[in-house]
Amino acid sequence: MSTNDIPDTVVADIHVGHAYTRDKAAYLRRLKRIEGQVRGIARMVDEDKYCIDILTQVSAINKALHAVSLGLLEDHIAHCVVGAARDSEASGDPQLVQDKVKEAADAIGRLLR
Amino acid sequence: MSTNDIPDTVVADIHVGHAYTRDKAAYLRRLKRIEGQVRGIARMVDEDKYCIDILTQVSAINKALHAVSLGLLEDHIAHCVVGAARDSEASGDPQLVQDKVKEAADAIGRLLR
Amino acid sequence: MSTNDIPDTVVADIHVGHAYTRDKAAYLRRLKRIEGQVRGIARMVDEDKYCIDILTQVSAINKALHAVSLGLLEDHIAHCVVGAARDSEASGDPQLVQDKVKEAADAIGRLLR
Amino acid sequence: MSTNDIPDTVVADIHVGHAYTRDKAAYLRRLKRIEGQVRGIARMVDEDKYCIDILTQVSAINKALHAVSLGLLEDHIAHCVVGAARDSEASGDPQLVQDKVKEAADAIGRLLR
């Protein structure tokens, strides 16, 4: 996600809200699609489709969810972590950014499991 | 999943349908819950909730999907693969079961990725 | 892994040993290579190589290990599970194969985590 | 990893080298142990141990490698990404930190697969 081409005031607004706010519509579309995929699997189970075909669909959802979480993580690092780095620099308190880094690493750890 | 306690005729029926047929209601309930979790994440994005909290929810969905796919895989091996082993034994053609094993391994490979 | 082209007596021997026995040399070669990759990462750390390059190598090892575990799983299903299906059929005791299926599913579950 | 309790000059040195430099000995010990685990699996294959027991050991290595990569990622974000945020701030060029964030996200993506 590039923030190069948007005016600083907008970036400031985003920082008040959250990192993914500008991409909100895109995330909502992707989640809508994933919701539909889950419903599709329920339909396959209901219609006694072949297990392996259902598992293939589950793999597709896993992949779509991975893409969403990777996007959220990238936005989080690009905005919250980098913002905290700036705040730590300004305030001289390294704890601010260290807390954000730890939080991001814990989130990555939960996704890796 | 134990098939010990159901009469043979029912097992035969299942084999005509699919492995997970007896647990259909349970799978549908779990998928309904996952669908709700995905919708919950969309709501969190829409309400500008904190990225890390959203990521925690995504990890929960990953886990729930893993449980569903593991259940489907176990049912598949217990019924389709074992059924094919029986058919191979009866017909003297090892290809029947080898194809089912390959198919199951490919599905596991897609889930591991 | 096809067992089509080997005489029955060899298959019987394998079953006395384990599923992967015929591919032993191939597994040992792959594990030797993975061991070397781990040593390579230690060398990169020791020489202060760039973190991202080290992480790329870790991903390569993950992939190689996945391939090994998938191979072992396929061999296990093709031999131990299918063998137990045969034994269950012969003895009329479904528990034999059910135990093997459960054990395989548990192993898959540990790999998925 | 806390950098709170070390003098600034040391932090500067690390930044010249790499993020994990201070933990080098710990990383090398962990990689040595993983190397031994891989060799242990080769020995199990060589001695025809039971496939499921081998797979359990593979899962343990997966876990150990995940811990190493998570540590490297956390160090990378804490040092390289945060350092780039500082450089971007000082130079007024946001590209510096954006490149590092993209690189980190790509590395996470490779680990998630």
Q: Which one is predicted more confidently, C20 or B17?
A: C20
Coil, strand or helix at B48? coil
Element at A8 (helix H, strand E):
helix A8-16
Contact C70 B111 (CB under 8 A): no
Contact C73 B108 (CB under 8 A): yes
The answer to whether residues C36 and C91 touch, using CB atoms and an 8 Å cutoff, is no
Alpha helix (H) ranges present in C5-113?
8-16, 24-46, 51-76, 82-91, 95-112
Alpha carbons C50 and C8: distance in angstroms, whole number: 53
D1 lies in a domain? no
C interface test, pick of D51, D57, D66 with most C CB neighbours within 10 Å: D51
Interchain CB contact of A34 with B (< 8 Å): yes
pLDDT higher than 70, residue C13: no
Could you give the angle at which helices A82-91 and A95-112 cross, rounded to 10 degrees?
160
Alpha carbons A49 and B105: distance in angstroms, whole number: 19
Greatest Cα-to-Cα distance within chain D, rounded to the nearest angstrom: 62
What pLDDT shows up at residue B18? 60
What pLDDT shows up at residue B12? 36
* List of E strands, D27-106: none
The arithmetic mean of pLDDT across residues A7-13, rounded, is: 39
Pick from A2, A70, A101: which is nearest to D112 by CB? A70
pLDDT in tens, B27-79: 999 999 999 999 999 999 999 999 999 999 999 999 999 999 999 999 999 99
Pick from B21, B32, B55: which is nearest to A73 by CB? B55
For residue D13, give both structure tokens: 């040195």
The answer to whether residues A85 and D86 touch, using CB atoms and an 8 Å cutoff, is yes
C97 lies in a domain? yes
The arithmetic mean of pLDDT across residues D6-21, rounded, is: 47
Contact B81 C81 (CB under 8 A): yes
CATH number at residue C92: 1.20.58.1000
pLDDT higher than 70, residue B86: yes
pLDDT band at C14 (very low <50, low <70, confident <90, very high): very low
Among chain C residues, the shortest Cα distance to B81 is held by C82
The answer to whether residues C68 and C30 touch, using CB atoms and an 8 Å cutoff, is yes
Of D54, A79, C96, whose CA–CA distance to B78 is shortest? Answer: C96
DSSP 8-state assignment for residue B92: T
Alpha carbons B19 and B24: distance in angstroms, whole number: 9
What pLDDT shows up at residue B46? 95
For residue D76, give both structure tokens: 């990378």
Least confident of B15-24, C52-61, D89-98: B15-24
Among chain A residues, the shortest Cα distance to B18 is held by A48
Greatest Cα-to-Cα distance within chain C, rounded to the nearest angstrom: 62
Contact B105 C4 (CB under 8 A): no
Contacts of D28 (CB under 8 A, 6+ apart): C42, C45, C46
Q: How many helices (H) and strands (E) does chain B have?
A: 5, 0
The answer to whether residues D37 and D64 touch, using CB atoms and an 8 Å cutoff, is yes
The answer to whether residues B85 and B73 touch, using CB atoms and an 8 Å cutoff, is no
Among chain B residues, the shortest Cα distance to A70 is held by B55
Nearest CA distance, D61 vs chain C (angstrom): 9
pTM of the complete model: 0.82
The answer to whether residues D62 and C111 touch, using CB atoms and an 8 Å cutoff, is yes
C48 lies in a domain? yes
The amino acid at residue D110 is R
B56 lies in a domain? yes
pLDDT band at B80 (very low <50, low <70, confident <90, very high): very high
Of A63, A77, A78, A74, whose CA–CA distance to A30 is shortest? Answer: A63
What pLDDT shows up at residue C21? 66
pLDDT band at D95 (very low <50, low <70, confident <90, very high): very high
Alpha carbons C63 and A109: distance in angstroms, whole number: 18
Number of domains into which chain B is organized: 1
Nearest CA distance, D11 vs chain C (angstrom): 15
pLDDT band at B89 (very low <50, low <70, confident <90, very high): confident
The answer to whether residues D9 and D33 touch, using CB atoms and an 8 Å cutoff, is no
The answer to whether residues B13 and B83 touch, using CB atoms and an 8 Å cutoff, is no
Of A55, A1, C61, whose CA–CA distance to B76 is shortest? Answer: A55
pLDDT in tens, A68-102: 999 999 999 999 999 999 899 889 999 999 999 99
Least confident of B79-93, C9-23, D74-88, D93-107: C9-23
C2 lies in a domain? no
What pLDDT shows up at residue A18? 60
Q: Supply the range of the domain harboring residue C51.
A: 20-112
Query: Measured between beta carbons, which residues in chain C are less than 8 angstroms from residue D75?
Result: 51
Contacts of C7 (CB under 8 A, 6+ apart): none
C interface test, pick of B66, B89, B112 with most C CB neighbours within 10 Å: B112
The amino acid at residue C13 is D
- In Å, how far from its chain's centre is CA A19? 9
Interchain CB contact of C105 with B (< 8 Å): yes
The amino acid at residue A98 is Q
Coil, strand or helix at B47? coil
Q: Which one is predicted more confidently, C17 or C10?
A: C17
The arithmetic mean of pLDDT across residues B86-101, rounded, is: 91
What pLDDT shows up at residue C19? 62
pLDDT in tens, D30-44: 999 999 999 999 999
Contact D65 C62 (CB under 8 A): yes
B63 lies in a domain? yes
The arithmetic mean of pLDDT across residues C24-52, rounded, is: 96
B8 lies in a domain? no
Pick from C32, C45, C107: which is nearest to D31 by CB? C45
Average pLDDT, chain D: 85
Interchain CB contact of D87 with C (< 8 Å): no
Contact D82 A97 (CB under 8 A): yes
What pLDDT shows up at residue C112? 87
pLDDT in tens, D33-92: 999 999 999 999 999 999 999 999 999 999 999 999 999 999 999 999 999 998 998 899
Among chain D residues, the shortest Cα distance to C14 is held by D48
Contacts of B46 (CB under 8 A, 6+ apart): A24, A28
The arithmetic mean of pLDDT across residues C78-93, rounded, is: 91
B66 lies in a domain? yes
